Amino acid sequence: MASGTCGDNLTWTFENGTLTISGEGYMESYDYDDEKQKDAPWHNQHKSIKKVIIGEGVTSIGDFAFYWCESLTTIKLPDSVTYIGDLAFYLCESLTTITIPDGVTEIGSYAFESCKSLTTITIPENVTEIGDDVFNRCTSLRRIYYRACSGFESKLAMGNNAELIPVTPKIPTWKVENIKLTVGGTDKIKDYSKETPPWHDYLKTVQRIVIEDGVKEISANAFSNILRLEHVTIPASVKTIGDMAFTISHCGERTIDGGKNVIWSLERGILVIKKNPAAKADADFSTGYESWNIVEKNFKAIKIECGIIPSRRFFEWLWQSGRDVQIKFV
């Protein structure tokens, strides 16, 4: 097994045809020059790499990262990736498809040049910048789906004969009734952390959210600024819930699901329970459990802020779930 580092906080291992990259932060960028060459550290195995797994927390794919990985057929990019570098997948001739994560905002020049097996590609709605010749010499590429009115047509069409198919994003329908916010009408509720959500005027009053049937994905940070939120109803159609999609708050002195004066959020697979900053310093802080069972399949560890007292019902829930979950007090 070969291994090493590929960023300040990233490590890589290569074994049995699979390259795995783990950690948090940016991947280092690489270069190719006939006189002074700085290849990716796994480049010596480039002909043997068949699968790449990039862990949640990695935020970029460096320049030339997978250059000339001619046997690469499968790659999994996490939602945390926001940038795909120049020539990142150049000459990956065996790559059947790739799903670009919705969090990606920039794709560098020549990023997928000569990926001759690609047939279909979808550009996420959040992409705001695309380099030149990104799909140049992708001879099998037949369809490129992209956000309508994005202005990317000329760059997407460079060097290939793919049909450009503009897609108009579905705008979610929503309504507020007293303290309840109902959202639906779309497959995906997007990340509103960097823009004003349509229900912005009700952020301080909403305490219940109802997601309508048909929604399949709730993105990271979708409802992260609704700090009085106490209850969420999620239909069976939802298959993915992103990090910090909700922040649930137990407000005041009322007891909800066995907990008082705490807020919780899902952060990269960790259930984080903190004191509600709106509560008094000498307030009774204790954990509940039922309000986060909507995401219990998504977390693998729990962090509890010091000073919060786990209730008996909390431990009963954890024991009854039969799960091997690490708990850390911070």
How far apart (Å, rounded) are the C-alpha atoms in residues 117 and 160?
13
pLDDT value, residue 34: 52
Residue 210 and residue 177 share a domain:
yes
End-of-domain residue from the set 149, 168, 187: 168
Q: What is the mean pLDDT of the chain?
A: 84
Lowest mean pLDDT among 3-12, 24-33, 200-209, 236-245: 236-245
Query: Who's near 30: CB < 8 A, 6+ residues apart?
Result: 38, 39, 40, 43, 62, 63, 64, 65, 67
Q: pLDDT tier at 158 (50, 70, 90 boundaries)? A: very high
Share of the chain above pLDDT 90, in %: 44
174, pLDDT greater than 70: yes
Q: What is the pLDDT of residues 260-301, one digit of tens each?
A: 677 777 777 787 888 777 667 776 676 665 556 656 666 778
Q: pLDDT tier at 251 (50, 70, 90 boundaries)? A: very low
Whichever domain contains 48, its CATH number is 3.80.10.10
Residue 189 and residue 129 share a domain:
no
Residue 141 and residue 268 share a domain:
no
What's the domain range around 211? 173-329
Q: pLDDT tier at 37 (50, 70, 90 boundaries)? A: low
Residue 122 and residue 4 share a domain:
yes
Residue 155 and residue 98 share a domain:
yes
How far apart (Å, rounded) are the C-alpha atoms in residues 78 and 112?
18
End-of-domain residue from the set 168, 198, 226: 168
* Strands 270-275 and 173-177, bridge-based pairing: unpaired
Residue 215 and residue 152 share a domain:
no
Residue 203 and residue 132 share a domain:
no
Q: pLDDT tier at 112 (50, 70, 90 boundaries)? A: very high
CB 107 within 8 A of CB 85: no
Residue 17 and residue 1 share a domain:
yes
244: left (phi over 0), alpha (psi -120 to 50) or beta: left
Q: pLDDT tier at 103 (50, 70, 90 boundaries)? A: confident
pLDDT value, residue 307: 79
Q: pLDDT tier at 257 (50, 70, 90 boundaries)? A: very low
Residue 217 and residue 299 share a domain:
yes
256, pLDDT greater than 50: no
Q: Which residue has the higher pLDDT, 247 or 61?
A: 61
Residue 301 and residue 154 share a domain:
no
14, pLDDT greater than 50: yes
* Strands 60-61 and 83-84, bridge-based pairing: parallel
pLDDT value, residue 89: 95
Give the mean pLDDT of 209-230: 83
pLDDT value, residue 156: 96
pLDDT value, residue 58: 93
How far apart (Å, rounded) are the C-alpha atoms in residues 205 and 162?
48
Residue 138 and residue 20 share a domain:
yes
Count other C-beta atoms under 10 Å from residue 99's C-beta.
11
pLDDT value, residue 178: 92
Query: Who's near 309: CB < 8 A, 6+ residues apart?
Result: 285, 286, 287
77, pLDDT greater than 60: yes
Residue 220 and residue 98 share a domain:
no
Query: Who's near 210: CB < 8 A, 6+ residues apart?
Result: 180, 181, 182, 183, 232, 233
Give phi and psi for 73, each to the nearest 5.
-115, -25
Total structural domains within the chain: 2
End-of-domain residue from the set 125, 146, 168: 168
Q: What is the pLDDT of residues 296-325, one digit of tens each?
A: 666 778 888 887 777 666 777 777 666 666
